[in-house]
A and B are shown apart, each in its own frame.
Chain A
Amino acid sequence: MPEQPYEPERAIAGTGMGGAMDLGASEAVTLEPAPGGAGAPGPVGRPRSLWSDAWHDLRRNPVFLVSALVILFLVVISLWPSAITSGDPLTCDLAKAREGAQPGHPFGYDGQGCDVYTRTVYGARASVTVGLCATLGVALLGSVLGGLAGYFGGLWDAVLSRITDIFFAIPVVLGGLVLLSVVTSTTVWPVIGFMVLLGWPQISRIARGSVITAKQHDYVQAARALGASDTRILLRHIAPNAVAPVIVVATIALGTYIALEATLSYLGVGLKPPSVSWGIDISAASPYIRNAPHALLWPSGALAITVLAFIMLGDAVRDALDPKLR
């Protein structure tokens, strides 16, 4: 049984720190579709698609349910932080700096005398936005470029793959330091833009591999024989079957992007005030680890739980989409 060219887990490595480095292994491997791959009939009754099969699995997976609930909760408080806090994250009273928990302020105060609870709640928005938008951007750009390279092959593939390698070779944190140090915008977009710029090769690789795999399927050959256009083949036949590995890696990468935002803040190039984000708060509180550990604990905890939720979701989705593990 030949190896699948891409190990999703392998491909996400390093997005948290350093460059995700994964060059050209695929080229070395003979590519064959995985046995029992996409479109295989379900175990019982009428044939089910990969997706309904996966959904069937997911609904019964407690890991999936818990992480989905956590993510739902995060999305809700990102949209309406005022639903669970009445405070203002930008109103701080220095006189209360570093005080511990007290009635009405369950998480205490940070070094600036801001309410940690309020800031942790409001921080969800920036972190979730960064995670979601960066992942979306990376997934779109990566799958389009990777898909084109995989589908057309030849010169297209050669050129696009070399460009992918070029961006892959730049260590991520280093790129962030250089690119973001000149940014003055206080919005989340430069950070997201940077993550997309240096993150897409990871998805592009996977998309390319799975498109190559899908291309060899009989139904694609059939569609081509029937005279379907490239666009139609790509969108109707290949995309739906090649997208599963992309989704898996993207979900897990989402968590690492959120953690990366915190690392960038620690290095002084992350989001800028008046943005409120966990990364900003964690890096501001980290020198006070001895004096006011609570100011570090809560945003770090929130960040860890969020990253955990997304990675667990990705794990569950992968298990559901990977027929080999069934």
Chain B
Amino acid sequence: MGRYVVRRLLQMVPVFVGSTLLIFLMVNVMGDPVAGLCGDRQCDPATAAQLRREFGLDQPRWQQYATYMGNVFTGDFGTAFNGQQVTELMSTAFPVTVRLTIVAVLFEIVIGVTLGVLTGLRRGRPVDTTVLLLTLVVISVPTFVTGLLLQLLLGVTWGWIKPSVSPDAAFGELIVPGLVLASVSLAYVTRLTRTSLAENKRADYVRTAVAKGLPRHRVVTRHLLRNSLIPVVTFIGTDIGALMGGAIVTERIFNIHGVGYQLYQGILRQNTQTVVGFVTVLVLVFLVANLLVDLLYAVLDPRIRYA
């Protein structure tokens, strides 16, 4: 187990360097960020040159990357164009997005798993078909349409919620955005639970449990569910990283000032420091989440051994 973790941690290093380099190059492809700083006006060349010097943009690309990564390891993620430390942006953005992600994951677990169990146990019945169709509809409508629709209906027409989220972004305000963010994954969780449950229902240990005369309720919760949830847990674990980085659309619609918002702003303003900094953290979250999921896998399923 220990050796496995060490190996995985070592494998993370090239992935981390590669991903950050990749995003660094991608953002650099976008061109000279200084041009956009002067409004509908050409920056005068002297000021532009001064700005480039200040942000290190006059250095060769590889050197910019090396300097940047060197700074990152000392905890300095650079400065955004509005003069703000990127770490400062992170300290306001990440807590908001983490809360949003928690809400979304809770929705995935509560609604997704419940519906999955319901349909998995009643495979082929009308309930099953209806829920299955519903999940398909959820998957097939783009998130921004769902988001705008919910915002309009719940926020304005019926006035149940505030259409936007305040800078504090308390849990209560994040319910609807969290639901929108979770919607696609939620549909997957439902289907995954259903499939997994249906598979395991015919497994020998379930048959044994039933034959032993255990009550149905106990068979489902103790035997069936525990084993069927393994792939679901895996999915949700790996989804955390995706939810945090993928909230660009949701955060934009509901005016949430989280990671997605900062990334979107950063890209529009070609703010290399912000974008690369946030993606670096997201990559780390992604790598660690994956490792944890794999370890969790072994805990849940004793048949799995790590070499």
Residues of A within 8 A of B (CB): 1-3, 7, 9-10, 12-14, 16-25, 27-30, 162-163, 165-167, 169-175, 177-179, 181-182, 255-256, 259, 262-263, 266-267, 282-283, 286, 289-290, 296, 300, 303-308, 311-312, 324-325
Contacts and interface: CB of A to CB of B under 8 A. Distances in A.
Interface of B, helix, strand, loop or mixed by DSSP: helix
Interface in B1-40: 4, 8, 11, 14-15, 18-19, 22-23, 26-27, 29-31
Interface of A, helix, strand, loop or mixed by DSSP: helix
Nearest to A16: B184
B286 interface: yes
Interface string B258-284: 000001100100000001000100110
Contacts of B173: none
A171 B241 CA distance: 9
Contact of B294 (A9, A16, A27, A167): A27
B297 A21 contact: no
B249 interface: yes
B234 A286 contact: no
B145 A18 contact: no
B140 A178 contact: no
B148, B248, B291, B298: residue with the most chain A Cβ atoms closer than 10 Å: B248
Contacts of B212: none
B142 A178 contact: no
A2 B200 CA distance: 11
Given A3-B230, A28-B297, A162-B15, A23 B248 contact: no
B245 interface: yes
A324 B202 CA distance: 10
B136 A14 contact: no
B187 to A, nearest CB: 9
Contacts of B234: 7, 10, 25
Given A173-B248, A308-B140, 6 more contacts: A17-B143, A166-B15, A259-B140, A263-B249, A300-B141, A307-B139
B293 interface: yes
B148 A170 contact: no
Given A13-B188, A169-B286, A24 B8 contact: yes
Contacts, number: 213
A311 B144 contact: no
Contact of B26 (A20, A25, A175, A306): A175
Interface of B: 4, 8, 11, 14-15, 18-19, 22-23, 26-27, 29-31, 136-137, 139-145, 148-149, 152, 181, 184-185, 188, 191-192, 195-196, 198-199, 203, 230-231, 234-235, 238-239, 241-243, 245-249, 263-264, 267, 275, 279, 282-283, 286-287, 289-291, 293-294, 297-298, 301, 303-306
Nearest to B204: A1
18 contacts: A3-B231, A3-B304, A14-B184, A17-B181, A18-B243, A21-B290, A22-B238, A22-B290, A23-B290, A28-B4, A28-B304, A30-B305, A166-B14, A169-B282, A174-B267, A289-B149, A290-B152, A308-B137
B248 A267 contact: yes
B142 A174 contact: no
Contact of B267 (A178, A262, A325): A178
B145 A296 contact: yes
A166 B19 contact: yes
Nearest to B18: A166
Nearest to B246: A18
Contacts of B275: 174, 178
A304 B140 CA distance: 5
Nearest to A261: B142
A167 B306 CA distance: 25
